[in-house]
Chain A
Amino acid sequence: MSQLPPGFRITRETNTEEFFINMGPQHPSTHGALRLALRMEGETIIELVPHFGYIHRGIEKQAESMSYLQYIALSDRQDYLTAIQNNLGVVIALEKGMNIGVPEKQEYIRVMLQELGRIASHLVFFGCFGGDLGGQTCLLFGFKEREMIHDILEEVTGSRLTTNYFRPGGSRFDVPDTFIPRVKAFVDHLEGAMSDYERFLSKNIIVLDRSVGIGILSKEDAIAYGCSGPVLRASGVNFDVRRANPYSIYDQMDFEVPVAYNGDCYDRYKVRIAEIHESMKILRQCIDKFPKEGAWRAKEKPVRLPVGRYYSEIETAKGLYATYVVAATTGEKPYRIHTRGPSFPHIAALNKMVQGHKISDLVTILATLDPVIPEIDR
C-alpha cells in the first residue's frame, strides 16, 4: 500500500476494482474551487481526501498591512453568501477593542440585516440542494426569492453582494424610509413562497430516498470535528451563538433554535428550512419594534484599538464565525487578524460522512454541508 497518494490513510488489501477519482477544482457540484480526491471501489467511496488552497488569497497576510476599516471590506469576500454577517463579526470585535456601543436603532438594523442575510444564504442552500440532487428547477426557485433580499440590501448598503456596511459604532448609512415596508412585503411574500417550495422538496419521495439516512454525522463526531451551525444542530446539539452567547439584541428576540437528531442530509435540510421560518419570525418582531426615532450610529471615533487581543463570535448562516484580532501596538493597523470560518471543519468531517456511500451521495452530502470555499481557504 505504499503507492497510495498523499493523504489517503485507510490501509487494506487492494483489489482490482479500486480506483482513484479526482473531483474538482472545476466541478459543477464542489461549490467552487475545492478538490476532492476519492478512492473508490466501483461507485462506492472508500476514502476521501480534500485538497484546499485553490482559492487561497492570503487575506490574513494582507490584513496585516491594512487598516481595520479596510479589513471589513475583505471580510465580505470570505463568505460572500453571508457578507453582511461577516461584516458584523469583524465589527463586533473592533467594538470590543474600542469599547463603544451602538444605539438601539442600529441594533435593530443589524439584527434585521443579519436575518435577511441568513435567509439569503439558506435560499441558496435550498437551490443548490435541489440542484445537486438533479432538480435544476429548484436552483432557480431558491435564487428567485434571494434577488428580493438583494434588492433590499442594495437599497440599504449600495451593493448587492459585497456589502461592506457595518462600522464600529454604527454603519455607513442610515437605512432609507422604505426599508421597513420593503422587508415587511418581502417577509409576507416569502411566507407563501416557502410553503410552495417546501411542497416541492420536503415530501418528495425521491428527495426522501436520497437524503434520509445519508451522510450521518453523530453528535459526538459533530462536536469533535468542530462543526457548527445547522450541521451541528442537525446532529442533535442545541448550540446557536445567538442563544449560547447572545450578541447585539438577540437576547430580546423570541425565536427558537431548530434542532434535529438524526444528523443525516434530510435533517440538515429541515433545520435550514426551519431556520428560514425562525428568521422570518425575528424579522416580524423587528418590524414591530423598530424605533422610528433615534440616532442610527454612535458618535464617530477613530478606529484605533488599544494593545490586546479581541475575540468576537457570531452565528452566520453557515455556523460559528469567530474573529480574533491581535493589536500589538495601539494604532489603526492590526498585528494579526484571524477568522474562523464555519465551513472548514465541515469539510474536515466530510471523509467521516461519505465512507461507504455512493458518489451521488457525496454530492448530496456536500450540498447539505453548504460550504463556501473562499471562506475555508481565505
Chain B
Amino acid sequence: MGIINFAPKILDPIPGGKYVVNAIDYVVNWARANSIWPLTYGTSCCAIEMMSSSMARYDIARFGSEVFRSSPRQADLFILAGTITRRMAPAIQMLWEQIPGPKYVIAMGACTISGGPFIYDNYSVVRGAQNLIPVDVFVPGCPPRPEALFHGLLTLRDKILKETCRNPWHEGEPRDVSTMDRYREAANTWAALERMKDEEMAEARAKFKEENPDYKSSFKPVRIKKEEFPEVERIPCKRFGLTQAELFNKLRAKFPNVTVHTHSEDPIEDVVAQMPADRPLEVMVTPEDYLPIVEFVKNDAEFKMDYLIEVTAIDYDDHFDMVTQLRSMDHGHKIFLCLQLKKDFSIEEDKRATSILATAPSISHLYPAAEFKEREVYDMFGIGFDGHPDLRRIFLDKDFVGFPLRKDFTHPEMIRRPV
C-alpha cells in the first residue's frame, strides 16, 4: 500500500477535496504510466525477444523502461517472458508478491496466455499466467516481436492513466495452481461459440439461397501450374573410423551374446553389411553383459569409446530399451548399446505406475557424463540404477507422481490431443 491510497479517505470528506484527489490521481498516474521499470525475468524464447526490445534496434528506453531491475523489490512491471511450468509457478507467485505495489503484469507470448504450443499432452506447463497472478496485458505471439511488446507496454500505459487512488490497483490474491477446470470451461465456451457461428452461417446461406435462387458466383478459381520438383537421391553423410561390420565382428568375438537391433528377418551379418554409412551400429546387449561391454569398448584400443553422447530409454509394453550412445573421439565411430530391461510385473498392478519397474547397472563411474543422464532416465522412465551416487529426480519435483515418458502415464492436468 502506497501512502497515496490514504489520500481519498482523508480528502474526500472535505468540501472540494475530491478535486485535490483528482489532481493527485492525474500527477501520480502520469508518473506511474511513464516510468515502468520491468523485472529481469525470462525463462525461454520470449526472454530473448524481451532482451532484443531493450537493445539498440528497438530500444525500450524510448518509453523510459530500460531500467531492468534484477531485484523484484524495485520493479514495477513483471513481464512474464516464456513458458511457465508447474515447478516455476511458486517462484513466480513469490516474485509477484515481492514486487511492491502498484505492480503490473504483462503476459508475453502464447505460452503465458494459454500454454501455447504446450497445451495438449502436457503434464508440466501451466496453461496461462492468469491462473497464477492477475495479468494486466496479454501480448500474443510465439514469440511476440519487440514491437508487439511495445504495444503491450503502451496499452498498459493507457490502462494506468485510467486508474484512481480511490480504487487501488488490484484486490487480487495469487490463485491456485490447479487450472484444469478453468481451462475446460473456456474450451467449452469456445466450442459453443464456434458451433453457434456455424449455425448462423448455415442459416444465412439458406436465407440467401431462398432470396436469390438464380444467383451464380462469377468467381473462377485460377489454377497455378504446380512447379515440378525432381526426386533427389540421398547421399549418406561421411563416416570415419571402423565400419559397422568391423565393429560388430570385433564385439562379437569378445561377447558372443550380442545381436543387432533390426526389424528385418535377414541374417545379422547381412543386416550389418548393408547398413548405410551414416547409420550407427545399434547393438542389443543383455543386462549381464552391459557393464563389461561398456568397460571393454571404453578401454579397448581399437574401440576407444571415450565419449558418451547420451543415455536414453524407450518404453515398450513389457520392456524398456535403454540406449547408451557412445562415440570414439579419436577414431570417429559410434556404437549404440541397446539394453533390454524386462519390466518387473511382480509389482501389483495399481502400484506399477509409480514404482521403479526395472534396474540397470550405472555407468557413471566410467563416464561422469552419465550421472545426470541416468538421473534423467530415472526421472522420466522410472528405471533404477545400481551404483549411482545420487539418484534423484532431475526435472520434476520430488513429490511428482508417476514417470511421464512411460506410455501408460496419466496426469490429472493432461489433456489428450484431439485426433
Chain A interface (Cβ < 8 Å from any Cβ of B): 6-7, 9, 25-28, 32-33, 52-62, 64-66, 73-74, 76-77, 80-81, 95-96, 99-103, 124, 139-140, 143-144, 146-147, 150, 160-162, 169-170, 221, 223-226, 237, 239, 244-247, 251, 295, 297-300, 307-309, 311, 313, 320, 322, 324, 326, 328, 335-336, 338, 340, 344-345, 348-349, 373-374, 377-378
Residues on A with C-beta less than 8 A from B232 are 100-103, 169, 298-299
Bound CA span A28–B392, Å: 27
Asked if B261 is an interface residue, CB under 8 A from chain A, the answer is yes
What is the chain B residue whose CB lies nearest that of A300? B229
Residues on B with C-beta less than 8 A from A344 are 372-373
Pair B237/A247 contact, Cβ less than 8 Å: yes
Residues on B with C-beta less than 8 A from A328 are 316
What is the chain B residue whose CB lies nearest that of A335? B314
Contacts A52-B395, A54-B87, A298-B231 given: A245-B368 contact, CB under 8 Å?
A: no
Pair A56/B85 contact, Cβ less than 8 Å: yes
Pair B278/A245 contact, Cβ less than 8 Å: yes
Contacts A9-B390, A56-B85, A340-B309 given: A297-B229 contact, CB under 8 Å?
A: yes
Pair A374/B43 contact, Cβ less than 8 Å: yes
What is the chain B residue whose CB lies nearest that of A322? B309
Pair A162/B124 contact, Cβ less than 8 Å: no
Pair B310/A54 contact, Cβ less than 8 Å: no
What is the chain B residue whose CB lies nearest that of A377? B395
| B50 smallest CB distance to A (angstroms) | 11
Residues on B with C-beta less than 8 A from A299 are 229-232
- What bracket does the count of chain B residues touching chain A fall in? 35 or more
Residues on A with C-beta less than 8 A from B276 are 96
What is the chain B residue whose CB lies nearest that of A141? B56
B21-43 to A contact mask, C-beta < 8 Å, 1/0: 00000000000000000011111
Q: List 12 A-B contacts (CB under 8 A).
A: A6-B390, A6-B392, A52-B395, A56-B124, A56-B396, A77-B44, A160-B145, A297-B229, A308-B263, A324-B312, A338-B312, A340-B312
What is the chain A residue whose CB lies nearest that of B39? A26
User: Nearest 5 pairs between A and B by C-beta?
Assistant: A226-B369, A53-B395, A101-B234, A143-B55, A80-B45
- Of B72, B117, B395, B397, which contacts A73 at CB under 8 A? B117
Pair B57/A245 contact, Cβ less than 8 Å: no
Bound CA span A57–B57, Å: 31
Bound CA span A220–B309, Å: 15
B286-328 to A contact mask, C-beta < 8 Å, 1/0: 0000000000000000000011111010111000000101000
Asked if B123 is an interface residue, CB under 8 A from chain A, the answer is yes
What is the chain B residue whose CB lies nearest that of A124? B48
Bound CA span A335–B253, Å: 33
Pair A144/B121 contact, Cβ less than 8 Å: no
B214-247 to A contact mask, C-beta < 8 Å, 1/0: 0000000000000101111111011110000000
